[in-house]
Amino acid sequence: MICLRRTIVKVTPLLKISVRSLEIVFDRENATYFGGESITGHCKVSLIDTLDVDKIRIKFFGQAKTYLETNKSRNAIERERLFQQYFLPKHIPVNIPSTFKYTFDSHIKYKIKAIFGLTTKYKKITILTNPNISISQLLLPVCASKEKKIGLIGSRSVSMKCRLSRIGFTVGKSIPVMCCIENRSNKLLTLKAILHQQIFLMALSERKVCCRKIHKMIGPNIKPNFKFEQIINVALPEQLPIVFDTCNLVHINYILDVYLDIPMAELPFQFVIPNNMPSTFNYKRCAFIEYRIKAMIGGKTKELDVKIMGFPSVSPNELYAPVQDEQSKTVGLFNRKKLTMRCNIPQAGWTMGSTIPINCSIDNYSDKMMTLSASIKQDIQVLALNQRETHREKILATFGQQVPANRIGGHYLINI
């Protein structure tokens, strides 16, 4: 016999925890640091007991990570260590990418790490750096022009020419765009500009390109048959990440799109729907009937789904003809008795949303109590390449009165 008793196990820690809290405090809290600047601050340490530690280690490091969903059996994930150094008071490197976040798994992050004994504390830091490009390239001017004809009948041309004094601008400032527009059409045009952020993500030889809309500006209107020349200013947000040839996993371009918008014009149309068209229908994505309105203009296409409720291709005499039926069956396992039911409805055709009255006459010779019920089922026949499939499904059901046992000549009404 084995007797089990309570056993007390005493655990002695190898190292005594003596640090109550460790905190990193920057001299500039919640600030954005630029390349070449120094990060200064101090660490606050609260002790429970004496601790024999001769130094506090402060570590400054950065990491880039990209996560791409591919069509293959695996996803592409890659990390790049940007740099790692112990410092105080070191300067932020100039040739590193800015802090950036696309999704939870695709980002560029920088952290300060403090190590005091066995206690570790992290704190995030936001860094904004310059692109890895020469000053001479940033000062290059840019000029672009385009001409297009607008109008359905008697179209006329509209020309636009835009000039930038340089391609490099400081975040938080404005981009002055010189616009020269000649509107020879009879349309009122609106000058607009959009700043796009084009992001390239790379991971394990996979690549993904995505675009974000950063800022949109609506400029003045240009009258018909009018020449327009003006400088428009597109504001740059202050916290734009700059990642240009400074990271192997992330690359960001900024594209300024200046365009002319034509106010929405209404073109009325009318279609006469034939009477003998089938209704809109969809059955388990394998058989469907759908209708669409398609509009095309200037190489652009727009489609709109339309639902149509058609009428059956049946003569009125068939729709208004009464329907009646009689069914008989035996009920029970051993002492089987007969049950007869006669049903009729006043007409065969009914409108959607209406109620169908069903008159029933039941002869129940059995000793079983029955519940009267009614249901509507639809039979679907699908034909394809000389093949036919028939599907039946219940679309509506209802329950009526109780039919007593041994009741002959009972009359009942059920509505569905």
Confidence label for 15 from pLDDT (cuts 50, 70 and 90): very low
pLDDT at 153: 59
The token duo for 332 is 């029970």
pLDDT at 9: 38
Segment 203-231 shows an average pLDDT of 88
pLDDT at 25: 86
Cα–Cα distance for residue pair 48/50, rounded to 1 Å = 7
Please give the residue that has the higher pLDDT: either 79 or 390.
Answer: 390
Domain 317-415, architecture per CATH = Sandwich (2.60)
Segment 369-396 shows an average pLDDT of 86
pLDDT at 163: 92
Domain 19-128, architecture per CATH = Sandwich (2.60)
Contact present, 106 and 210 (Cβ < 8 Å): no
The token duo for 84 is 């790692």
pLDDT at 171: 85
Is residue 5 scored above 60 in pLDDT?
Answer: no
Segment 10-31 shows an average pLDDT of 68
pLDDT at 2: 36
Amino acid at 127: I
Is residue 107 scored above 80 in pLDDT?
Answer: yes
Segment 6-13 shows an average pLDDT of 39
pLDDT at 84: 59
The token duo for 112 is 């300060």
Domain positions in the chain are 19-128, 135-261, 266-313, 317-415
Element (H, E) at 319: helix 316-319
Cα–Cα distance for residue pair 145/381, rounded to 1 Å = 59
Is residue 4 scored above 50 in pLDDT?
Answer: no
Residue % of the chain over a pLDDT of 70: 89
Whether 135-261 shares its CATH topology with 317-415 is answered yes
Is residue 214 scored above 50 in pLDDT?
Answer: yes
Cα–Cα distance for residue pair 306/400, rounded to 1 Å = 38
Segment 252-263 shows an average pLDDT of 87
pLDDT at 47: 78
May I ask the CATH class of domain 135-261? Answer: mainly beta
pLDDT at 200: 92
Q: Tell me the pLDDT tens digit for each residue of 188-197.
A: 888 999 999 9
Q: What is the mean pLDDT of the chain?
A: 82
Q: Tell me the pLDDT tens digit for each residue of 222-252.
A: 888 889 898 889 888 888 888 888 888 899 9
Cα–Cα distance for residue pair 130/241, rounded to 1 Å = 9
Is residue 85 scored above 60 in pLDDT?
Answer: no
pLDDT at 12: 37
pLDDT at 196: 92
Contact present, 306 and 292 (Cβ < 8 Å): yes
DSSP sequence for 366-396: SS--EEEEEEEEEEEEEEETTEEEEEEEEEE
